[in-house]
Chain A
Amino acid sequence: MRIALRIALAASAALLTLGVAQAQEKTLRIGTEGAYPPFNNLTSDGQLVGFDIDIAKALCDEMKVKCTFVAQDWDGIIPALQAGKFDAIVASMSITPERQQKVDFTHKYYNTPSALAVPKDSTLKGVTKADLAGKTIGVATTTTHFNYASKTYTDSTIKGYPSSPEEQADLANGRLDAIEDDIVVLSQWLDTPDGACCKILGTPDPQPVEIFGPGAGIAVRKGETDLVNKLNAAIDAIRANGKYKEINDKYFKFDVYGKSSS
């Protein structure tokens, strides 16, 4: 018993020091989701891949810091940033006023519109509130798409999903009448055998900037202005030196950056 107690004490001491270990300044820990292809996804050998990941790696090279990646479920990603589980979110997070109350953002690093997908045999004609009245729409929770859908389609049932693949699966098997998501994510899925069931119905128009924001940015904890400035400089640098275009062309046939205004 005494030995067991001693082992337990030693173990608890070791674990406490582990748990309260301070974040090291030199490596930048980046949080991402890993369920949002082609922007970020997990492979069967546990690797994170995708546009977000390549952009983040390019930014880290540019800033000359070492980066590690952490996969974190989407609906807990901002709390996890605040709780110090990583230092920056590179996960296709739209810059919205709501989120800006909790975190600081860089400039956008891409901007693509929101769209709705439906089964191929769907009788739906358009994407207005009246068109979708009485229908069930699946959206990943705590996304801009979710906020838009819950504000716009007030006559429809909105179902919240933890991530995009679940809502896609439920559209394919008929639990949902429509899903709303990023058009690039939807198109990528529609090109796979599982997405063969479905098609793009259309893109809501207009897409209000107060809901969708100017695009996807990198989020850091509030007040870390220094890191924001460094990341912004790095975004500008990879935009200028062709690295961004190289990554863009690896994944897309068009420019995902959108209008170069911000």
Chain B
Amino acid sequence: MSVTETIVEPPPPQARGWSRARILGYALVGLWIIFGLGIVAYLVSAWNTDFFFRYAPAYLQGLGTTLSLVVVSMIAGAILSLPVTYGRMSKNGILSGLAYCYVYFFRGTPLLVQVYLVYYGVGSFRVELESVGLWWFFRDAFNCGVFAFALNTAAYQAEILRGAIESVPRGQWEGAASLGLHKLLTLRKVILPQALVVALRPYGNELVLMIKASAIVAIITVYDLMGNAKLAYAKSFDFQAYIWVAIVYLVMVEILRNGVEWIERRITVHLKR
């Protein structure tokens, strides 16, 4: 939030009549309305009770798969992000170098490549994985998806956490130290509560990004929401399969985004004047 935003300006007098901006604005909103009505009209005209009842349960099941994939990956990623954050902030050159490389790799390459690498790439090392007793894990496509997603989100979450911790002024560390708190306690009781308020919005964004990105596991045989939509389309060649899935994703993301905003407003009440 920039400083200028908090300066209260008197509201400008309401423009009357048809300015150019208003004509353009109404035209654009009109376009969106036409577009929305077009989709509604399409869905009504393409309404097919058989299609709906045949695939709606599959979509619901897919939604469940998507959500559990995202939740498990986010939590695993959060745990994994702790050592990475530690490495990134460490003064030890080797440690911070390693953590930097980790973050750079997972943020610098497409998630799709990482997913392929884990599912098909690691899948070709079955003998080696069996000998170390890990094959049961990588045998399952869902696990492979979770594995790739957790590694990926850990890199992003580490950066969020680091940024948030660094956003807390140095004086807070010094103040706590002067009270005789040791470092870990300072981190837990003083720094993290402040840092997490800063980190809430980026964490929310990351969650939204993960939900959107989760659609790509459909490509490695996981029947998530997108996977079921692809299957429905491939079986019926009915384009509404994709329209429905788009609506579900959009609603899900909007609910989440507004939820995060609501929580942020609630917990930053004390910061507002």
Please report A residues at the B interface, Cβ cutoff 8 Å.
Answer: 75, 78-79, 82, 98, 102, 138, 141-142, 159-162, 166, 169-170, 173-175
Contact = CB atoms under 8 A, between A and B. Distances in A.
Interface in B221-239: 221, 223, 230-231, 233-235, 237
A159 B141 CA distance: 10
A173 B126 contact: yes
Given A159-B221, A161-B221, A162-B219, A169 B123 contact: yes
A102 B239 CA distance: 12
A162 B219 CA distance: 7
Given A75-B230, A79-B237, A160-B231, A173 B123 contact: yes
Nearest to A173: B126
Interface in B120-159: 120, 123-124, 126, 135, 139-141
20 contacts: A75-B230, A78-B237, A82-B237, A138-B221, A141-B230, A141-B231, A142-B235, A159-B141, A159-B221, A160-B223, A161-B221, A162-B219, A166-B221, A169-B120, A169-B123, A169-B124, A173-B123, A173-B126, A174-B126, A175-B123
B123 A170 contact: yes
A160 B223 CA distance: 9
Contact of A160 (B123, B124, B221, B237): B221
A98 B124 CA distance: 36
Nearest to B230: A75
Nearest to A197: B126
Q: Which DSSP category, helix, strand, loop or mixed, fits chain B's interface? A: helix
A118 to B, nearest CB: 16
Nearest to B227: A160
Contacts of A159: 141, 221
Given A170-B123, A174-B139, 17 more contacts: A79-B233, A79-B237, A98-B235, A142-B234, A142-B235, A159-B221, A166-B120, A166-B221, A169-B120, A169-B124, A173-B124, A173-B126, A174-B126, A175-B123, A175-B139, A175-B140, A175-B141
Interface residues of B, number: 17
Listed residue (A79, A160, A169) with the most chain B CB atoms within 10 angstroms of its CB: A160
A159 B119 CA distance: 14
Nearest to A77: B234
A141 B234 contact: yes
Contacts of A175: 123, 139-141
A11 B124 CA distance: 44
